[in-house]
Amino acid sequence: MKLFRGHPHAHIEPVPYRLRIGVTGKRSGLPPLRLLRPMILEAVNKRVRELYPESQRGTVAKAFDHGHPPVAYSILSALAEGADRVVARTLMREKKARLDAVLPMVEADYLQDFRSGWSKRQFRLLLGSSLRPAWRRDRLIGDDYPDEREAEDGRRASYEAAGQFIVDQCDVLIAVWDGTRKPSDGRGGTVEIVDYAVELGRPVIRVWAGVCAIYAVGSGLDAAAIPRIDRYNEKRVSVARVEKSRHEFFEKPKKTGFVPPKAIFLATKELLPHYARASAVAGKNQRYCLYTGVGMYCLAVCSIVFGFLGRRGLLLNEVTGALLEFASLLLILILKHRIDGWRDLWMRHRFLAERLRCVVLATVGGVETREIEVPPYLGAAHSTTEWMVRVFEEVRTRLPRLEASDVTLSAREYLSEVRNMSSTLRHPEAEFTEYCCPGSLVY
């Protein structure tokens, strides 16, 4: 199954810099759409740029204006009537926009809040556009709150949880709001969610008729991931490398017959090119670190020898020995700076490659994966703003949603053999790293 036959390099669709737009706002009393929609587009195309530091504006312009890398939007919306749907429908018209629905309660309960059959049909239509909606509750309200008054409190708590989740996951929050603070908003209302965003340091842009203004800068936005994603997209990977990865995953194990052909095709088309690219870059920078480290040890030995010979007057005079010793130490410092950069590239591309490896195996097993859950001790190094986390999420969410089937059970035979094979290999790229599976158990 050679998907790239006739081309020396695999064609890989560029990974965009995806800006995560959270939405909150009023359900009713909104301005006319002809006045509101231009303000929403101005918020994401112009006001957002003002949230980046002045020193990064050139990098931001390169992405937004010239597509290096392309910019895409992810809309986090609860799909309630009013502002949630207006923003979602407006931004979904943008190229490569993605709707990530965040629902406060199960569908049967949520539909009770919509006033008309048309509104319910519109909700279902938008929900169908979200590949992986996030449900904040998996039980009916009545199952947990039999009393009517308690049920109403439970509904408000669910709205609050959904709103806070949107703020937690977004880069910037768009608030379709007239700016007045009404007590009737209550728990989980627009004012409370905006206050939560401000408290968290999340940027907030307020949108209304003729108004598109930054309400709170917060911690601003960081464009550090933009050039790294652009450099990642520029890396070319040979078809031979992709075919080698495919051989290791699907031809070397003897029980590949248990794997459905559709899963192999999906993994080969969507995942293995990115896995091969990340693995190749990681391997190259690993070799750079190894060779440079050996060179630094050799220079350290030379520095000691030059100093010894110069001080003893053997073959070198004292001045020449001191100069050669200084030159050796200077080269060590230069190489130390270079090896730190190579080590960083090695670790981050290996991080990406191993998580993609787990998604390949999860795809084979019919297991749906979740976003990366970063342990507290890695929070600073692997936050959701890091380029490799963004690349992983983009690749992962391109996959169609997996459904469990009877073939999943037989695929375990294949996964079991892969694990047994990897335990006998010493090469680190061949290790079956269960611990790094992104949010799901593969076997």
Residue pLDDT, tens place only, 106-140 = 999 899 989 899 999 999 999 999 988 888 888 88
Q: What is the pLDDT of residues 241-267, one digit of tens each?
A: 888 888 888 776 665 555 677 777 888
Give pTM, 2 decimals: 0.81
Q: Is the pLDDT of residue 4 over 90?
A: no
- Distance of alpha carbon 442 from alpha carbon 379, whole angstroms: 24
Asked if 84 contacts 75 with a C-beta cutoff of 8 angstroms, the reply is no
H/E stretch holding 134 reads strand 134-135
Provide the angle, in degrees to the nearest 10, between the axes of the packed helices 148-169 and 190-200.
Answer: 40
Kindly report the average pLDDT of the chain as a whole number.
Answer: 82
Q: Is the pLDDT of residue 404 over 70?
A: no
| Greater pLDDT, 374 or 62 | 62
Average pLDDT over residues 72-95: 93
Q: Which of 139-153, 267-281, 380-394 has the lowest mean pLDDT?
A: 380-394
Structure tokens at 268: 């080969």
Using the 8-state DSSP alphabet, how is residue 9 labeled? B
Task: Enumerate the domain spans of the chain.
Answer: 17-221, 235-436
Q: Is the pLDDT of residue 184 over 80?
A: no
- Distance of alpha carbon 73 from alpha carbon 22, whole angstroms: 10
Angle at 361 between CA 355 and CA 365, to 5 degrees: 140
**Is it true that domain 17-221 has CATH number 3.40.50.450?**
yes
Provide the CB-side half-sphere exposure for 240 (13 A, CA): 1
- Three-state DSSP string of 317-344: CHHHHHHHHHHHHHHHHHHHHHHHHHHH
Neighbours of 361 (CB within 10 A): 25
Q: Is the pLDDT of residue 32 over 50?
A: yes
Position 440 confidence tier, pLDDT thresholds 50, 70, 90: very low
Q: Which of 131-145, 155-169, 226-240 has the lowest mean pLDDT?
A: 131-145
Q: Is the pLDDT of residue 302 over 80?
A: yes
Q: Is the pLDDT of residue 416 over 50?
A: yes
- Distance of alpha carbon 263 from alpha carbon 129, whole angstroms: 23
